[in-house]
Structure 1
Amino acid sequence: MIRLRTVEGDPPDVDALVGMYADFEADDRAQGIPPIGTDLIRGWLTGLEGIHVVADHRGEPVGHAVLVPVDGETLELAIFVHPDYQGATIGTRTLGELLDCGAAADATAVELHVERSNDAAIALYRKYGFTAEETRSMELRMRRPLVTPPVA
């Protein structure tokens, strides 16, 4: 059974997350993250302050997602699932949890960057209301409002 834990501030269980990310191959990385090597992974994680959701299976992390403040109203989303757990709905479950947390944190929007070739992730993000705002040759920037302003 997969268990989700939500933590605000610094990432929880950095040592365990370093171990999870160390298993990622080159094809499992996007836009340079997670970095390669345990020291670089640890440095990246310790600087990643925000709202974290960790998916655990049998007491070990198999997924990690985070919302990081971009400005006073926008949060940036990143989701990573261990390669052995791709297709197990971990990304879907952590995304739903983080969107709820973002709305509770009074943010108005969530944005993310995704590789254009990642059809599964793009389909998931569209299902949750994200739309493409900017495209580059290799990536899309997608955005989703969290709060709809009242109609005047």
Structure 2
Amino acid sequence: MALMGLFLLFTLYIISLHDKEGSLSPMAKTFFLHYMAKFLLLGDLTEKEAASGDGEAGLTGGELAWPKRANRVAPADDVVVTDVETPAAVSETTRQPTRLEAALEEQTSCLRNLIRMAEEQVMKNEQQVSDYTLLTQVLDRLCLVLYVISLAVAVPMTMYLGK
């Protein structure tokens, strides 16, 4: 019970640190966010802080991953069309890709608008991660590890002392 109360007090202090403004000293940042975070299997949080400064890396800015061909009537790369004989056949085949092209352009513009709106929403909702927020993650994990270790030591000790 005493261990639970002690670690509850530690947790209350850690929660009060979470929204603190400012930055840690370089020595505390190195010890807690680099070495202690690696020891507690959280990784190097000093690198995460630097990498997350420009936003999430999931959205591509509205650019498509495939190249846009200007002439959709022309066949794909390295394909030779030899069986087109009459201009009527050519005009009939060019009508359908033109409608498909218009539909594709409409869909890509809708996709670009959706991506732009999603990026704006992410930027609006993105919170700046401070050093103290990262410190609280490390301290919270440290308290969990220490609590489990102290329980693993306390249970056999009470069994031994209870004889």
Q: Which has the larger radius of gyration?
A: 2
TM-score (norm: length of structure 2): 0.23
> Does 1 or 2 have the higher relative contact order (CA < 8 Å, sep 6+)?
2
TM-score (norm: length of structure 1): 0.24
More strand by share: 1
More helix by share: 2
